[in-house]
Amino acid sequence: FPGMLSNPRLTPLQGTLNVVMNQNVTLSCHSDSGSPPVTYTLFKHNQKVSTLSRPDLTPGLFSLTISSASDVGEYKCKAEDNISSGRKYSKSLNFTLEEQISKPVLSSPTSQAKKGQNVTLSCLSENGSLPITYLFFKGRQSISPPVKMQKREAAVIFLFINSSSDLGTYKCRAESSFRNNTKYSDGFNFTLAEEGSHSQPLIISLVLIFLLLVIGFALAIPFFIIPSYKASE
């Protein structure tokens, strides 16, 4: 006795409804019971997209490309067999369009640092679906716990420059909740400020004082020479 046609299930083979622009996806429409052959029809916004027939109870597979925002609308499928008088519909599903994360920018207010100085590093991706999780590295070793940002704001960490070994290459990684959506920044390097650079203001001050003394001496000469000249007359 042929089985009663069951309501089909519409599922994404990639396992998630989160998609990015220009992604290829496959939807499976499948009735567990019925009398083959079974004809499956896919609809988007109640408009027919495609129809295919299966000689048995294997799923009907529909391949799509998400090429615009309109492609993430409501989808559902219909199943029909040779014996059942009616047709059965699946529940609808909707894709969620994710924005690909952009390459993060790693920056600092200063690129020069002295020993014993505290510095900051900021990491920001201008594009990408929120939240975005940032992680900071020195070389290949992570130097911070993951920082999850719910807003389009930079993640910031504080560093203490204790020696020249702290001046290596720093990077950061940005990752969104969408799988395989991870980007790394370019490297950032601090340079060690000259230890003697603090003496430059002192040298400038001494030069200015010397010039002021010379000018003062030059202005004072007439006051000494003229009275002595008159006294000699």
* 25 within a domain of the structure (yes/no): yes
Measured in whole angstroms, the distance separating CA 122 from the mean position of its chain's CA atoms is: 13
Residues 30 and 93 in one domain: yes
Given this model, what pLDDT does residue 197 score?
45
Residues 154 and 179 in one domain: yes
- At residue 154, does pLDDT exceed 60? yes
* 87 within a domain of the structure (yes/no): yes
- At residue 200, does pLDDT exceed 50? yes
Phi first, then psi: what are they for 143, rounded to 5°?
Answer: -120, 10
State pLDDT tens for residues 123-137: 999 999 899 999 999
* 214 within a domain of the structure (yes/no): no
User: At 142, which CATH number?
Assistant: 2.60.40.10
* pLDDT bucket at 163, cuts 50 / 70 / 90: confident
Residues 85 and 136 in one domain: no
* 152 within a domain of the structure (yes/no): yes
Mean pLDDT (the chain, rounded):
87
* 164 within a domain of the structure (yes/no): yes
Given this model, what pLDDT does residue 164 score?
82
- At residue 70, does pLDDT exceed 80? yes
Mean pLDDT over residues 168-176, rounded? 94
State pLDDT tens for residues 84-126: 667 899 999 999 888 889 999 999 999 888 888 999 999 999 9
Residues 116 and 164 in one domain: yes
Residue 153's domain comprises 105-191
* 197 within a domain of the structure (yes/no): no
How many structural domains are present in the chain? 2
**pTM of this structure:** 0.61
Residues 13 and 92 in one domain: yes
Given this model, what pLDDT does residue 145 score?
95
* 56 within a domain of the structure (yes/no): yes
Q: What is the 3-state secondary structure (H, E, C) of the chain?
A: CCCCCCCCEEEECCCCCEEECCEEEEEEEECCCCCCCEEEEEEECCEEEEEEEECCCCCEEEEEEECCHHHHCEEEEEEECCCCCCCEECCCEECEEECCCCCCEEECCCCEECCCEEEEEEEECCCCCCCEEEEEEECCEECCCCEEECCCCCEEEEEEECCHHHHCEEEEEEEECCCCCEEECCCEECEECCHHHHHHHHHHHHHHHHHHHHHHHHHHHHHHHHHHHHHHC
Given this model, what pLDDT does residue 13 score?
95
Residues 92 and 116 in one domain: no
Residues 134 and 71 in one domain: no
Given this model, what pLDDT does residue 4 score?
87
Which has more pLDDT, 181 or 33? 33
Q: Amino acid identity, residue 73?
A: G
